Structure 1
Amino acid sequence: MTSLTLFTPAGALPKAEPLKRAAKRLTKLGFEVAIDADALARHQRFAGDDATRLEALHRIADAAPSIALATRGGYGMTRLLDQIAWARIAKSVEQGTRWVGYSDLTALQNGFIARHKGLAMWSGPLACDDFGRSEADGGVDEVTRDCFLEAMSGALEAVGFREPTGGFDGLEARGRLWGGNLTVLCSLLGTPHWPKVKGGILFLEDVNEHPYRVERQLLQLQQAGVIDTQAAVLLGDFSGAAKTANDRGYGLKDAVAALRSRTKTPVLTGLPFGHVRTKVCLPVGGTVELYVQGREAILGWQSDPRLAHGAHEHGDDCAPDCGHAH
């Protein structure tokens, strides 16, 4: 069986039930599930104090399970970045551990790829948010589940999505995939944990950030010279912020238009990723290839993103169960 460890590296879990529910469901899916000893620890808003969460991170790295799946995001990884023994994390990845999560895990993932070329982590579901959701709240999303299973088995080599705005027919781009949560990523700018990726494919998402805040952070990246040096930018979901009377029609489309007007880098929307029920898995740090035909986009990579050099072409071979999420 494939070993899978659940751990809580950032915000505290408010209740134990979603964790137990996630462990049960993941076990039924065929994983040998272990719950880290401090997964339910609490200190203020965090899952234990910094030392506790750091020890858990290193403990899991040393154990090198097949999968290290974060239970939730929140806030807390940034506190640990200066203290992480990155070589221990890298050794676990080299031994086959797939670190999975998103949201606050953006800090861990990008801090890692800032130091290790040719190695990757996975942006994907969180245990409690995605596998611990009650049936009354919708249960487990099938696309999210199937993408996770295929990614963790090594079978997932591409995901597909529809770019709603058009205008990118024939686009081909290749580079290192990086990014994640926009707010967390921007917090790394100017620090030793910032990945200095040029010619990459940058993907971004966020939640509960008003469109003007999204625009401000996108322009920060553009004005810092980040956006202009990428091969492409992929925008996922940016939901959860209510419009205000001051907007007068201004919204996320206007924020995206503002970015597009200031850069020659292709900025695509529609990536099925973010703080939403349906999300794909993405190899953060792996080399990927982007192809667009009409409004259909395919993002492909080699089956083992630890070998992040020389991704091959995928054409139409994206997984049918999760490659065409919209």
Structure 2
Amino acid sequence: MLSMSFLVTVIWYCRRLYSFLAQLLKRWSNYLQRKLIRNLSVLTEVDLLGYSVREWKGETQQAKHMREAYEELFWSCHVKYLRQVRRDNYCVLRAVLFQIFSQGIPFPSWMRERDILKLPEKLLYSQGCNWIQQYSFGPERYTGPNAFGKLRKCMEALKTNWIEIIATKDHEERGNICNTLFSDESKEHKLYEAIKFIMLYEVVEAYEKIKNREEPIHNLFSLLLARDSSSDPLSFMMNHLNSIGDSLCLDQVELFLLGYLLEVKIRVYRLHRFNTEEFQVNYPDEYRREWNEISLLTEDDRYYHIPVFRT
């Protein structure tokens, strides 16, 4: 009788312990989920028209104009959902790279032929660009002699994560990898700085070809170097690239360069230009048929979100 009572007591305590652990596990899971969602720099899909109504309330001319632009996207362009992107000065790089990774788009052809890990070394030693020490990593305005080592780590992060992404064929699994990557600020910032550096490296290459009167270069480099603020690679870095991630986003010319280097057609829906020829713009405007296409949505040419299509 005593042993039976003891057994009942043990079972009762085991059930209480199981119930307590189950509740603890559930709370911990909910906490981690909330933390992940809070840290995500690219949010999950929301209904496009619902977003439009929430963001553009009222009867002002601008509000009506923007709601009409969203309705045009919904009915004519088959954009049914929207993924909001964190509004900071890495915004456009984040929106572009997230889509490249989530779609499993491979390295551009030129990147498959060269080891991008060697680009910082080549720029510093082979081409004598000692001014690379003035490179700024977003909000980190000055790194000096540490710039080379930091750039190397950024290039390693880009190459390693991109290889992992394109090796992941399952769409859902690839999405989980992207969510993890784009919820870690330190890791994702390395990716953006690597892309910035690649842009700088290619401008240096184009500039040298112009100086040496070598093979013709793409006209976008001529356009970029024709600006007073970026007439050479150093001024391009100091006046444009160094501010990206800190106080500025990419401008129109740099979007052309970004699409060209990553070998993707970037289609941008510019809602503030609705009912004009500039409502839909491609970066670059000349692209190869085999390039993958990604899309951006902007209300002001500063912050960008990701449109999601459904037929």
Tell me whether the two structures share a fold, i.e. TM-score over 0.5: no
Q: Which has the higher strand share?
A: 1
TM-score, normalised to structure 2, is 0.30
Q: Which has the higher helix share?
A: 2
TM-score, normalised to structure 1, is 0.29
Higher CA-based Rg: 2
